[in-house]
Every structure is written in C-alpha cells, then in structure tokens.
Amino acid sequence: MSELVPAIVVMGVSGSGKTTVGQMLADELNRQFIDGDSLHPESNKNKMAAGEALNDQDREPWLRVIGEKLADGTQQGAPLVIACSALKRSYRDLIRSLEPSTIFVHLTGGSTVIRDRMNARSHEYMPSSLLDSQLATLELPTVDEAVLTADISNSPEDIVRKLVADLNVAHLS
C-alpha cells in the first residue's frame, strides 16, 4: 500500500501539528519521518529564537535541502514524510522542482486554536509571536497543486486515518 504513495510534505503554520501528524503518518505508511525544523541552519534557528521572521533568502537553502532529501528517499525506493511549513507557492514549487512527485498535506485550523497550542508547548526557537507573520505569509495551495487538506480540529488519529485513505485513492486515480 505505502509503496504506491510518493514523498509527502506535511505543511502548515507553526503549531498546526505537522510533527505529530507527520510522525504518525510516517509510522502508518512505514516510512522515515524527518522534522524539517531539524534541517534549518543554525542562523535560521537563532533568528527565529530572537523573534524575527525568516525571509525568502533565509528559507531558500533550507527548502532546497528538504527537496533534496525527498528526492534521495524516492531514488532509494524509500519515499520520506517531512514536516515543513511550505507556506508560499514558490516554496512548494522549489521542493517539487527537486522531487516532482511530492504530495503536500496542508494542516489547517483557526488562528486561536493554533496560538493556544503554541502557547501550551515548549519549542526551541518558534515563539507564538511569529504566528501572525506565518499566517500573513501563507499562500493557500491551489487546485493545480498535489495537495490534501486536513482540519486540525479533528484528532491526529482521525486525520491520519483519513489521509491514508485519501493518499491511496488520490494516487490510484
């Protein structure tokens, strides 16, 4: 089943549940999971920890590494699941330019729910004060992109169950 499904990027703003859903989805599909945050260069982590939003120049090398990891996994016959905000169309296009078969899973939800989640957790370098800049940067995926949408008001288990079904149907159609 999971061999049929290409590389996956679980995307959304910080606090939307990318790591939780991504890890659970990878486990369900018997895949390796990588949290894209771990791939940021130290300079990006320091900038975010200081409460500064990243710009496109900061993100470009990070997105390139993500796309290269996805491509490597696919070439080795072991497509990955990576959590990555992928907020702009140009970011998703860059990733797809390196691994064209990538499917994006967009986790969506209200800003109040997301802010509450961010305030309730401890994150190494992503303060909730950056949520507004992420929401302002977010360009919703369009119908011409390979994307599935999941509402974060559902439990992670329900989200993953529906995604697994949708991924298999989407890939077979």
Dist CA 33 CA 54 (whole Å): 24
Distance between terminal CA atoms of the chain? 14
Q: What is the pTM of this model?
A: 0.86
Confidence class for position 125, pLDDT limits 50, 70, 90: very low
Tokens describing residue 106: 């967009």
Which of the residue ranges 57-66, 92-101, 118-127 would you say has the lowest mean pLDDT? 118-127
Find tokens 């061999």 and name the residue.
Answer: 3
pLDDT on residue 131: 63
User: What's the number of CA atoms in the CB half-sphere (13 Å) around residue 114?
Assistant: 23
Q: Name the band, by pLDDT with cuts 50, 70 and 90, for residue 122.
A: low
For residue 134, give the nearest of 171, 82, 84 by alpha carbon.
84
Confidence of residue 2 (pLDDT cuts 50, 70, 90): very low
113-122, 124-133, 156-165: which is most confident = 156-165
* Average pLDDT for 41-69: 90
